[in-house]
Amino acid sequence: MKLSPSILNADLSDLLRAVERIADLADYIHFDVMDGHFVPNLTFGPLLVNSLREKLWLPFDIHLMIDRPAFYAPYFQVRPEDVITFHVEALDHPDEAISAIRKLGCRVGISLRPRTPLFLIFPYLDQVDWVLVMCVEPGFGGQKFMPEALDRIRALKKEIGGREVLVAVDGGIGPENVRQVVEAGADVVVAGVAIFGAPDPREAALRLWKAAGHPRN
């Protein structure tokens, strides 16, 4: 398992310090970029992400919940180990979004809403490095995990087969269900409220690792 803490629920007034406190327990840092159109919420964009990119060594996991991923992706400053994920339901065609992200020199991810048929992303599995399975409706943190997502993870892993494509899972994941998610086939676990919504985010991250069966010191 790899862990990607989501900053959506972190203390944005002291964001760098909040991330640095748990950085040694994370493999990525997850950014939920929302435009107020694709999802009914508005968060942050390239200015915030790029300002942190200069100060953090961890790979960035940038989730574009926006209508025009092909247009906005080039505004993000990325490194080869970073990943930018777009939604198959976005207005830009998936081929256009994949091309725009690939030109940046980073990894490409594709995602879909919980009720979007999984087969819609199958034609793109040979073109991406990462698939993000949403276990809640995208737009807000703190939602309840949809257990039917476990079957989607298993089906996706079967379809991926021998491809070098990571499966990331996001939405409602905490100590009570993280092991099920990992056993279903998740390579990367995204967690926001379970970590940054806790009184002690560092202790919460350690608890999540232990619950997953991969304790870290």
Residue 151 in domain: yes
CATH classification at residue 144 = 3.20.20.70
Task: Answer yes or no: is pLDDT of 217 > 80.
Answer: no
Task: State the total domains in the chain.
Answer: 1
Active site residues: 32, 170
- Predicted model pTM: 0.96
135 touches 149 (CB < 8 A):
yes
Does 58 fall in a domain? Answer: yes
> Is position 83 within any domain?
yes
Residue 217 is assigned to a structural domain of this protein: no
| Domain membership flag for residue 137 | yes
What pLDDT sits at residue 141? 61
Q: Is the pLDDT of residue 142 over 70?
A: no
Whether 76 and 84 have beta carbons less than 8 Å apart is answered as: yes
CA distances from 72 to 62, 76, 139, 154, 184 (A): 12, 8, 18, 32, 33
Residues spanned by the domain of 127? 2-212
Residue 21 lies in a domain: yes
| Gyration radius (Cα) of the chain, Å | 16
Whether the pLDDT of residue 139 is over 70: the answer is: no
- Of residues 53 and 216, more confidence is placed in 53
Look at residue 151 and tell me whether its pLDDT is greater than 80.
Answer: yes
Instruction: State yes or no: pLDDT of 196 exceeds 80.
Output: yes
